[in-house]
Structure 1
Amino acid sequence: MTADSRGDAAAVRRLTRIRIGAATACSLLMLAISFGLALLLREADSPTAADAAAIWVPVVSALIFLGVGVLLFRGRAGRVATRVAEMVLWVDFTALAVGAVALLAIGKISAVLWLTALAFGFDLAVQLRFSRRDGAPSPRGRVEHRRL
């Protein structure tokens, strides 16, 4: 391995960590804004199940996204932990998507932020899918070593 390829691999790892941090931060921001809107716009006299869902689903999803982001950022998780995190993330995606459609159907606009957080979460899912046990970056960012 030459000095150039080591430098390239280090740069790719840094960019991958930045990408993970940005996706985690953006999804957390969208879920936090959604949570804030749900708290501000709820009806105090007659709270409904939709109000409760609009408050608790972003909180649980934010905790899941934060956990996956930390797991990826540290890059020291084993194969089993990575697969379990991936399954939990996909269950959360399903709950977010179904909840967003249901809330949009009854007129809750904060569900649009759930869909935005879902888009950032898909980038986390891609990184999680291609994470290696040894902490290597995803195949899209991997440095290829070619013979000249």
Structure 2
Amino acid sequence: MELHYETINLTVDEIFPEINKYTKSSEQKKLSAELGDSPYFYFPALWMLLNLTLTEKDFNNTLRDRIFTFMEEMAISEDKRVVELVTVEMLEPIFGLDFETYQEVTKKFLLSTCKKIHQKQKKFFKESDNIL
């Protein structure tokens, strides 16, 4: 699937219908007013959805896997703005996870290109190498 920055919101909306209940929250409506049609509107909601799949024990693992697969699709996109979007909006927040969840995400769920980007982020943020 070829992803493009200009249409990424439509793609997210199509692939993840579950996101609609998060994009309709008051926080998201305020963000929408500020950002308009910016792709940066959907990604806080997508991150919230991913975070739920990681922290809720009985949450939908299929959804979690779909999100990580989509993140990888974004990471391999030829559109550098899509790569930047996944880097900032989906990979950077991983650093804020509790240690156990962080370990699980970086060892079990991140796919190859996302792992490479995350390794570069670790070096940039000067994170310890024993984390991953």
Q: Which structure's relative contact order is higher, taking Cα pairs within 8 Å and 6+ residues apart?
A: 1
Task: Return the TM-score normalized by structure 1.
Answer: 0.32
User: Which of the two has higher C-alpha Rg?
Assistant: 1
Task: Return the TM-score normalized by structure 2.
Answer: 0.34
